[in-house]
Structure 1
């Protein structure tokens, strides 16, 4: 089957249409409530909306059809779903030695710009991607999270001060990020639906090897 026929197959499904509809409703609502500096900014956002919504809906349907994702696809809400744990899944990423393991993971040669990574923001985890690597200063920048120092002391203590920390991908953490799970203390809260950008990034996750993304 060719790529073009595969695309046609997915765009003909009810799931694809429902995803597009849900994404349009959500994005139009966000634009209507947004604070834009000019009419041109709104026009630019609207002009690219069709492309990104179609691409995201196609990617979400594709990863499910090809069995690449362990998550459940909620077409009505255009989101991923999975069982939420009682606590934020930070086990294995909290002690000094565990933080050292995180740093070692990010200092390997197979880390590159564009790689999808998780970032802890206070009470929930988001899907982000690396947009700059500065090995001379041992730091990495992600698109949303900004700069993160790859030293044990800064990763632990500065992260606690700013409520923002770079995490190492694993199945529980990436599941939480993709589904928008959040907590307040030890209490589960209603999920935060990831942004359109996060949903698109989630479709490139290779759940068998987080350093080798899917080409969807």
Structure 2
């Protein structure tokens, strides 16, 4: 406990921690100002929780072991982008086999491909009876029959190239590299839970 407390104190006192928090605050407040929130309580609730999640994310980004380069000024990860979206080996059969082989647990970080990028999501519900699981943002995926999926996006099996692309916000437009998008605060926190040595497990954050 004392060691953990010491790590947090070191973070709070560091210039990198302060810069990360400032960048995250600036970005999140900008996003909040653009949302069409209908009531003051909903805005107040999000603002109230913001300090906790920003400090938690900044601390995790400074502590996690990752192949990614931390851009403190912009509160983001950076890495070399591949020419095309890294979808080799992501055929339905291979993805099915990977998820069937995993001892699925709540909180497992999974990649979801859209037309132009790869997003991070996490499992929040598992239905073994119907052989499916639900991700927090993208819905239900049947890991034994992908054709039945009603979720938005294409479920991928995690590998280093896929997860690097997702964490770094890499984008492709018409099969060509495009400007990266900025991952959300939630995605940044999820990126810190990735176990780069074993994608079938997650790290405690």
Q: Secondary structure at the match of 1:107?
A: helix
Q: Cα 1:50–1:153, aligned 2, differ >3 Å: closer, same or farther? A: closer
The runs of at least 4 consecutive aligned structure 1 residues that moved more than 4 Å come to none
Q: Residue deviations 1:101-144, cap 9 Å, x none? A: 32122223511111111011221100100011122222221011
| TM-score (structure 2 length as normaliser) | 0.94
Number of the residue aligned with 1:177: 166
Q: Cα 1:103–1:18, aligned 2, differ >3 Å: closer, same or farther? A: same
Q: Residue deviations 1:126-178, cap 9 Å, x none? A: 010001112222222101111112245517xx68xx87111100000000100
Q: 1:40 and 1:163 mapped to 2: Cα distance?
A: 30
Which aligned pairs between 1:22-101 and structure 2 lie closer than 5 A? 22-63=23-64, 68-94=65-91, 99-101=92-94
How many residues are matched?
204
Say yes or no: does 1:150 pair with 2:143.
yes
The root-mean-square deviation of aligned C-alpha atoms, in Å, is: 1.7
Q: 2:12 and 2:187 mapped to 1: Cα distance?
A: 21
Say yes or no: does 1:197 pair with 2:186.
yes
Number of the residue aligned with 1:140: 133
Superposed displacement of residue 213, structure 1? 1.5
Gaps of 5+ in 1: none
Gaps of 5+ in 2: none
